[in-house]
Amino acid sequence: MRLIAPLVVGLVVVAMASEAFARSRCGGRNRVRGIDVSKWQGAVDWKRVARAGVRFAFIRVSDGTNPTDPTFATNWQKARAARITRGAYQYFRPDQDPIEQADRLIAQMGPLRRGDLPPVLDLETSGGKTKRQVVARVRKWIKRVKSATGVDPIIYTNAKSWIEIAGNNRSWRRSPLWVAHFGVRCPMTPTAWRRWTFHQHSETGQVGGIRGAVDLNDFNGTRAQLRRLTVKSERKARARYRAWKRKRARERRRARR
């Protein structure tokens, strides 16, 4: 029983420390409706999703270096065909090779198309790594993906995870933030960012064209502002993708020697 009081005090101190590095931030007046999907949503009728008013969608590529999500290729193609602005995301595993994870994402996306959103790094776990190690591995992933796409990746996280796992690191404060906080309009946001770009506000949403629950998201701005965040030049995107393929081939040849 004597251990309970110190434990409670310790938890309170940790909670207070986390709150000191997070702030409830409201977005602007305009918001655009979106979703994010993975294999758990099953077969998606993207035309019905578009008719339901969904304007953008993030689609999962993989959980780290584990096998590619079996629905990714279909969702990636059909979301675009339905004229829904699409983006790919990957659940990042700090205990796995960040370059191998980045390469899986890049290979599955292929060269980005005009109107595609930047790819997303989803950080929710430390994988047993220290804050410094997590940040170093996130940096490697981001550098690799940016080199292959020419765009700054989006970072998905929540206030608690970013503070406790990444130490509220401010290195990517100019990169778009996709913050998770359910059931609120003004999400708790790490102070490493001054604003959020996307807000995941529900994991129990209902949308026409999807059986069961789906995550709901808002973009902080207008549809025109959302378009400004997307890829503009397919020619440059294809050139960067080809350069990445050549680089990866050279790396593999060196590894076999």
DSSP 39: G
Does residue 251 carry a catalytic annotation?
A: no
Catalytic residue among 45, 63, 97, 124: 124
Q: Annotated catalytic residue: which of 69, 103, 116, 122? A: 122
Q: Which helix (H) or strand (E) holds 148?
A: helix 131-149
Residue pair 198/178 in contact by the 8 Å Cβ criterion: yes
The first and second tokens of residue 159, run together, are 């206030």
Active site (annotated) includes residue 69:
no
CB 98 within 8 A of CB 70: no
Q: Is 190 helix (H, G, I), strand (E, B) or coil?
A: strand
Active site residue 124: yes
Residue 49 CB partners (closer than 8 Å, separation 6+): 35, 57, 79, 82, 84, 207, 208, 209, 210
Give the residue from 110, 108, 117 showing the smallest Cα distance to 35. Answer: 117
Q: How many angstroms from the chain centroid is the CA of residue 113?
A: 18
CB atoms within 10 A of CB 240: 20
Catalytic positions, please?
A: 36, 122, 124
